[in-house]
Amino acid sequence: MDDTTKSISHAGELEMRRQFPSRHKLNEETLSKLVLDHINSSLAGFIEVQPFFFIATASDTGECDANFRARNTSASGRPQPLLKIKDPKTILFPDFAGNGFYNSMGNIHLNPHIGMLFIDFTEQRRARVNGHASVEMPAAEDTEIWPDAQAIVHVQVTQAYNNCSARIPKLKAYTNPQKMIRLGRR
């Protein structure tokens, strides 16, 4: 790695690898093959079919917040897209009116760093995307996709990668609410 190449790992990660050696021999060369600076087609296919994801943000003083984002349903009952991959470096997702706390949106306003975690519990697979986010007013093409969105979060991807599937519990997804209610009463 020459002086012009930016390290994938920060000092804390390097120190933890030194203190807690792993059977995985990770170095910058290995990581550069695993951690991409864009979303490739395989990862895009996985991300776009997920019904939800988790986000992590922090304020400008480092106060953290973790949140959950899921698909909205149209007035006709049809699920709307969770997000839109505009290009390999850009993800868009809607923000809907909620409890009024604005934890994530407030953090993004002060500190653009965002982490996104996608988990498929039925296939026991997960992926991560890290980047820089901004909160924008919905454009006309956004309101066609998400008519109730009050804002659109634009994420400029800096890292995208499949993540270890260890310890993801195998869960079964139910799309029939009546079946879920019956199972809950057992």
Query: Per-domain residue ranges for the chain?
Result: 11-184
Mean pLDDT score of the chain: 90
Quick one: 35 exposed, middle or buried, by C-beta within 10 A (0-12, 13-18, 19+)?
A: middle
Residue 84's DSSP bridge partners are: 92
Question: What's the pLDDT score for residue 178?
Answer: 57
Specify whether the CB–CB gap between 82 and 69 falls below 8 A: yes
Q: Does the domain spanning 11-184 belong to CATH 3.40.50.1000?
A: no
pLDDT tens by residue, 101-115: 999 999 999 999 999
pLDDT digits (tens, 9 = 90+) for 24-82: 888 888 888 899 999 999 999 999 999 999 999 999 999 999 999 999 988 888 899 99
What pLDDT score does 88 carry? 98
Token pair for 45:
């296919």
Query: Residue 82 burial by CB count (10 A; 0-12/13-18/19+): exposed, middle or buried?
Result: buried
Predicted confidence at residue 66, as pLDDT, reads: 97
Q: Is the pLDDT of residue 15 over 60?
A: yes
What distance lies between CA 181 and its chain's CA centroid? 29
Cβ distance 141 to 92 under 8 Å?
A: no
Question: Token digits for 20?
Answer: 């807690």
